[in-house]
Amino acid sequence: MNSIQVETPLKKYTIHFEASFEPLREQILKLRKNYSKIAIISDDHVAPLYTSEVKNTLEGLNIEVLSFDFAHGEVNKNYKSINLIYDFLITHQFDRQSLLIALGGGVVGDMVGFTAATYMRGIDFIQVPTSLLAQVDSSIGGKTGIDFNGYKNIVGAFHQPEMVFINTKTLRTLPVQEFASGMGEVIKHSLIKDEAYMSFLESRVDDIKSLNHEAITALIKTSCLIKSDIVSKDEKEQGLRATLNFGHTIGHAIERLMDFERLHGECVALGMMAASYISYILGDLTQQDLDRISSLMGLYDLPIGIADLSPEAIYKELFFDKKTKHHQLSFVLLKRIGTCYMDNNIEEKLIMEGIKAILN
């Protein structure tokens, strides 16, 4: 299986799994779009590694291919960077028949997607994710956006890509900490949807961390299947898709309080531990379940506790999350490993217990 179909009410597209960039040109041709220009947009970390290779791959399309990169990192996921991209596109006369290629991790994908959603009221784009987190999560589903005044993805739009093209070989240049961050989202998928997947992650630790081709490809495909199935059923996050926010409510609060010094997947891991502890207090998880989740986080170098933050500060920050409705917090909790549910009526005392469980 070299591809997966994502089908939402408004769009149908394919996730391709490859071991090089070479097939990208053919997949663009198969879109049967008469593109006027192509822009490969990346950040200053990824561009030196892959932009030239992707540009060379696209030779023969008889389309002008230009490239642009901006400063890397969550701290630059803002309107200042977006305006630089707009300036580039306008200067080089990109029109409504142009194509953008998001080459990079989650920040690049979110920003290029948002640019594509808003430039000339919407143009096509392709996700070419190079980080594990982007490959298994953020490149799929059409969520695009930027941060504003420290609030993550508070400005954004739903804009589905024309395709997602995953080259698994890009993980070879991914820093160890970034790989661990991606595993936070992978573990999330197993906890909310598939206990057998969790068993796979437990049994293949060495193969996965050493990027064994068979193991890492199976991992990426399984996570993509889980997310694409959810997104296909709930494109605009009216219900089911919200379960993908497991660990994110508290995780986003920690990200903001730490000025994004910790990676997204690390903060989500902490949020998942807190939510799991709440599920334990409610009687849905056993101590054995809790220990198993904690052990899996450790196996993939993810944190299970954090210091130097007060529970009161974290709790207060929860109410600035964009998922809060009518000043009411929404939590994804586990009924058991592999099954989750939404709860909008968690008492403050219980939330505080979950937060305190992850504070060293």
Catalytic positions, please? 121, 143, 185, 227, 237, 241, 245, 248, 252, 264
Count of other CB atoms within 10 angstroms of residue 304: 19
Among 272, 324, 264, 301, residue whose Cα is nearest residue 110: 264
CA atoms of 274 and 270, how far apart (whole Å): 6
Q: How far apart are CA 143 and CA 116, in angstroms?
A: 12
Return the sign of the alpha-carbon dihedral for residues 151, 154, 158, 162.
negative
Q: Which residues pair with 100 in a beta bridge?
A: 39, 125
> What are the E-state strand segments in 71-110?
99-104
Nearest-angstrom CA–CA distance, 67 and 51: 7
Dihedral sign (CA 324, 326, 331, 335): negative
Contact criterion met (CB below 8 Å) for 300 and 354: no
For residue 327, which phi and psi values (nearest 5 degrees)?
60, 30
Residues 152, 146: Cα–Cα separation, whole Å: 7
Residues in the chain: 360
